Amino acid sequence: MAVTATRTRLKPMSSNSIRIDSQSSGTVLQLVAAVSGIYISFLTWAVLQERISTSPYGPDNRVFRASLVINTIQSFCAAIVGYIYARYTSSSNKQSSAIFPNRKAVFQYALVATTSSLASPFGYASLKHIDYLTLLLGKSCKLLPVMALHVLIFRKKYPWSKYLVVFAVTLGVSLFTIYHPSPSKKAAQAPSSSSFYGLLLLGINLLFDGLTNSTQDHIFHTQPTITGPKMMCGINVMATLLTSAFLVSPFSQQLQDSLHFFKLYPQVLYDILLFSLCGAIGQVFIFFTLSKFGSLTLVTVTVTRKMMSMLLSVVWFSHKLTVGQWAGVLMVFGGVGGEALMKYFEKKKTVDKNVVDKTK
In whole angstroms, what is the distance from residue 141 CA to residue 173 CA? 9
DSSP character string of 26-62: SBHHHHHHHHHHHHHHHHHHHHHHHHHHHS-BTTTTB
In whole angstroms, what is the distance from residue 199 CA to residue 174 CA? 10
Q: pLDDT tens digits for 163-218? A: 777 777 767 766 766 666 654 444 444 444 456 888 888 888 888 877 787 787 77
Residue 6, pLDDT > 70, answer: no
pTM (predicted TM-score): 0.69
Contact by Cβ (8 Å): 275, 107:
no
Q: pLDDT tens digits for 220-265? A: 778 888 888 898 999 999 999 999 999 999 999 999 999 999 999 9
Q: Which amino acid is at 124?
A: Y
pLDDT of residue 127: 81
Q: pLDDT tens digits for 9-43? A: 333 334 334 444 444 556 778 888 888 898 899 88
As a whole-number percent, the residues of the chain with pLDDT over 90 amount to 23
pLDDT of residue 9: 36
Closest CA to 50 of 317, 326, 337, 328: 317
pLDDT of residue 5: 40
DSSP character string of 133-149: HHHHHHGGGTHHHHHHH
Contact by Cβ (8 Å): 120, 113:
no
In whole angstroms, what is the distance from residue 49 CA to residue 266 CA? 16
Q: Which amino acid is at 340?
A: A
Q: pLDDT tens digits for 149-160? A: 667 765 667 777
pLDDT of residue 178: 65
In whole angstroms, what is the distance from residue 44 CA to residue 292 CA? 24
pLDDT of residue 69: 94
Q: How many CB atoms lie within 10 A of CB 18?
A: 12
Q: pLDDT tens digits for 52-71? A: 988 899 888 899 989 899 99
Q: pLDDT tens digits for 97-114? A: 789 988 999 999 999 999
Closest CA to 203 of 169, 155, 242: 169
